[in-house]
Amino acid sequence: MIRRRFSILVLAIACASHGLSNASFADTATDKAAILEIWSTYSSSRVAGDAATWLNLLDKKGIRMPPGVPALDYKTFAPGTPERFAKPPASMEINAEEIVVTGDWAYSRGTFTVNEAVEGKFLSILRRQEDGSWRIYRDAFNFNSE
């Protein structure tokens, strides 16, 4: 009797574990798709000169780390963004080569091309918001050449 209960318990744990891992995989795939959509919106809003949409991709406690200047928090870089978007690039492509999701945090690493000539790389940390959406929390990037 004890052996049978133990076997049923082991089977129940195995089934629950399998179900949880499949659910986690499904959630991770959904999260990765949402993060890929962020990069798509990032580039399209940049090319469109749409500062409001672009800023909405960023966590309000976010920090950007562009090359050659100190790190900037959201409150510092957000006000000047519309001016910087006044002359948008003709094209921008972002290739997220890696996305790793761990709970409410993720990182994405990849490359980008601006105006089919300027190439660079990025490493960004994303944070899940209370509504379940993702926002860019830390954004570091640089160019492959000056």
Residues 56-94 have pLDDT tens digits of: 999 999 999 999 999 999 999 999 999 999 999 999 999
Confidence bin at 12 (pLDDT 50/70/90): very low
Tens digits of per-residue pLDDT, 130-140? 999 999 999 99
Beta 92-102 vs 134-143: how paired, if at all?
A: unpaired
Q: Classify residue 99 by burial, with Cβ atoms within 10 Å: 0-12, 13-18, 19+.
A: buried
CATH domain 33-143 topology: Nuclear Transport Factor 2; Chain: A, (3.10.450)
Q: Any idea where the domains of the chain sit in the sequence?
A: 33-143
Q: What is the pLDDT of residue 32?
A: 97
Position 27 confidence tier, pLDDT thresholds 50, 70, 90:
confident
Two structure tokens written together for 78: 């957000």
